[in-house]
Chains A and B, each alone.
Chain A
Amino acid sequence: MAFSGWRVLKEGLTGNKGWAPHWRDAAPKDEYDVVIIGGGGHGLSTAYYLAKNHGISNVAVLEKGYLGGGNVGRNTTIVRANYFLPGNSEFYSHSLKLWEGLEDDLNYNVMMSQRGQISLFHSDGQRDAAIRRGNSIRNQGDDAELLSRDDVKRHLPYLDYDQARFPIYGALLQRRAGTARHDAVAWGFARGASDRGVDLIQNCEVTGIDVEGGVVKGVQTSRGAIKAKKVAIIVAGRSSQVAAMAGMRLPIESHILQAFVTEGLKPCIDHVVSFGMGHFYISQSDKGGLVFGGDLDMYSSYAARGNLPLVEHVMEAGMTLMPMIGKAKVLRSWGGIMDMSPDGSPIIDKTQTQGLYLNCGWCYGGFKAVPGSGYSTAHLIATDTPHTPAARYRLDRFFTGRGLMDEEGTGSQHNLH
């Protein structure tokens, strides 16, 4: 079933009776070429690109709950490619290019909106750092523009420019950055994978990983044993638990990140605005809600809900930056479980177990990586060689110390990112 404007018109005039489910809710078979543990954004995109790019469609995606019910359904929907370090820079550049063609590729409206992201700076030193970052982004082939204070005022007239602690000196703008409809991304990849023969199996919890003689043989699940030649662990905040089933301990600590949304308002915030010094960022959804978030709660947690001090901190930062939002009523807040790596960069790699692959460590930046991560993970699974843009996301960098990618420059240590 293809989507098109014509189809929407026709269905609208005939009572919308022709729409069918977007994907098959499959039952598990006894054996697959590839089993992907985790039906979130990264797992679904991996399945999609395995089928599309590599012709491997005898694939199952096993999901404990429902498809897209984890972090891909509870993020702040920002898409960007403004990374600085080699390794991150080329990976997110590739991912953003995939985003730009995603709707045509999937024939699915993911509401990709390249509204631009504005990252504010507040001192001469930060301006220098922004120039350096901008040059790095442009060297990668992506776009970055330095905005003066007056430029920022034209874009964002509603900010408080002379706040005592963080007066606004300017900003770095990436016009190609923006937002996408998070759920639709999961649904689009699910539909694309399912149409190509991938089995999407929900309510199927993996309870064990079968390894014999250092080779993966399959998985045990709540819906029976499933044999597989290759198994990929793509489970974000639960990475440590699932990897433990294969006898692995990971360089991961799971933390909560909270986010918030207000009641629907008339359009007022046209960009993604990042206020790094206040740990605050905001955009406005197409429905009108202000979607914003802050920093981690900063202690390990699986509770998927945060504590009030951080809520207060985020609200204070928002009020400091843009006092106009003070009367907006917050409708909802929620938390996601972030798989934090020590250096703040992710892992896409083989493991010591033959046929077992690992995709984790996305910290609080997994959403924008969804297409690129799936593309690179599918390449790794299909060819057993790393995909060039993700070649530096090696697991062994945490064991040898070689190739650590500490984008924030705070040190490769837990609890610093």
Chain B
Amino acid sequence: MRITCPICGERDRREFYYQGAAVALDRPEADAEPEAWVDYVHVRDNPCGMTRDLWYHEHCGSWVVVTRNTATHEVIETALASDIKEQGA
């Protein structure tokens, strides 16, 4: 598996750390209901197929949102987490 870092280009998977599902982009507010925090910390969609997760690129220090297929390991799209956060997507 090779992942395209938006800054450095296509790189070996070993340069990246998997940081889990991209739910981390939607961190609940501190005063949110407990259910929201349970969803955030523990519960996952865990799809067989298309998923979005966060990877940390050790090389340049960027956080990358990777859209990929969990059944085939195909990487569809990558984007900087900061850009996605700004777009609110």
Contacts and interface: CB of A to CB of B under 8 A. Distances in A.
Interface of A: 238, 240-241, 249-254, 298-303, 307, 309, 342, 398-399, 412-415
Interface string B1-36: 100000000001110001111000000000000000
B82 interface: no
B67 interface: no
B48 interface: yes
Interface of B: 1, 12-14, 18-21, 38-39, 41-48, 51, 53, 70-73
A248 to B, nearest CB: 9
B41 A300 contact: no
Given A302-B71, A307-B1, A250 B53 contact: no
Contacts of B14: 309
Contact of A301 (B19, B20, B38, B73): B73
Given A300-B70, A303-B73, A415-B18, A398 B38 contact: yes
A78 B51 CA distance: 33
A298 B19 CA distance: 9
Leading 3 A-B pairs by shortest Cβ distance: A240-B46, A251-B42, A299-B18
A414 B23 CA distance: 12
A303 B44 contact: no
A238 B70 CA distance: 12
Contact of A342 (B42, B48, B71, B72): B42
Interface of B is mostly: mixed
A253 B43 contact: no
7 contacts: A299-B53, A300-B53, A302-B71, A303-B70, A303-B72, A307-B73, A414-B21
Given A302-B70, A302-B71, A303-B71, A252 B13 contact: no
A342 B46 CA distance: 13
B70 A342 contact: no
A303 B46 CA distance: 13
Contact of A250 (B44, B47, B72): B44
Given A301-B70, A303-B72, A309-B14, A414 B44 contact: yes
Contacts of A298: 18
A309 B73 CA distance: 14
A295 to B, nearest CB: 12
B21 A398 contact: no
Contacts of B44: 240, 249-253, 414
B73 A253 contact: no
Contacts of B73: 301, 303, 307
A250 B70 contact: no
A253 to B, nearest CB: 5
Nearest to A305: B73
B1 A240 contact: no
Contacts of B12: 309
Contacts of B46: 240, 250, 252-254, 300
A364 B16 CA distance: 23
B70 A415 contact: no
Nearest to B1: A307
Contacts of A413: 20, 41
Contacts of B42: 251, 342, 398-399, 412, 414
B20 A414 contact: yes
A349 B26 CA distance: 30
Contact of B19 (A251, A303, A412, A415): A415
Contacts of B72: 303
Contacts of A414: 20-21, 42, 44
